[in-house]
Amino acid sequence: MKSRKLIYAALFMVMASLAVLPVELAARSTQTRNSQLIARAEQITGDRFRVATYSPRGVNVIAVSAPSPEVLATIDRGFADLFEVARRHGYRNHLNFSDYTVFIGRADRNRDSSGQYSPDIAVPAGQYAGGYYDQGGFIYAAGMVLAFNPSAFIIAEHDRDLGRIANVVRYEGEHIVLYYNDRMLYARTADHSRGGGHPILQ
């Protein structure tokens, strides 16, 4: 009887360890992807992203300094607006707040060429090289898509005009929503160097 109990106990331990294994592997895989994503964001912006938190509705937010509750709520508002218009277009994929990671980096400028408040980040000119937006090998951007899986983009820190954050979140998110729902429209609108802008989805 005692040996049977030991066998049952051993089987239970093996089954329990097998049940936990996929979760541990998934967690390790997610951690690796996040580390790679953070490294890429830091390479592009030159920032050190040391704060990780979530918006009230579940957006993963990684920042150089702790974002205020108002900023986190505004990020949610930008996604809510995006998801609403996406559903009106019949899109269904990738419309969960938890699908997204938003990096908040330090602004490389706070005013645009006309003097308007415009926290932007400097990113490599890439396909914009030699064009109107080229500032000598880089451009100033309100935001930049980092990756599609996991879905992530960078925006700049704001200390006022939080409505601009909502707009930038919606506009950068448009590229990702289109990637998952309408590849033809995504391909036509991914590169603003050929013209066109936001909002893409009306």
Coil vs helix vs strand at 59: coil
pLDDT tops 80 at residue 8 = no
Q: How confident is the model at residue 16 (pLDDT cuts 50, 70, 90)?
A: very low
pLDDT tops 50 at residue 22 = no
Q: Sign (positive/negative) of CA torsion 179, 23, 53, 85?
A: positive
CA angle 136, 153, 139 (to 5 degrees): 10
CA angle 138, 37, 74 (to 5 degrees): 80
Question: Would you list the domain boundaries of the chain?
Answer: 47-194
Q: How confident is the model at residue 107 (pLDDT cuts 50, 70, 90)?
A: confident
CA atoms within 13 A on the CB side of 160: 5
Q: What is the pLDDT of residues 23-52, one digit of tens each?
A: 343 444 455 567 889 999 999 899 999 999
What gap in Å lies between CA 168 and CA 119, rounded to an integer?
11
Which residues neighbour 49 within 8 Å (Cβ) at sequence distance 6 or greater?
Answer: 38, 41, 42, 62, 63, 64, 103, 105
Percent of the chain with pLDDT over 90: 54
pLDDT tops 60 at residue 19 = no
pLDDT tops 70 at residue 11 = no
- CATH (residue range 47-194): 3.40.30
* pTM (whole model) above 0.85: no
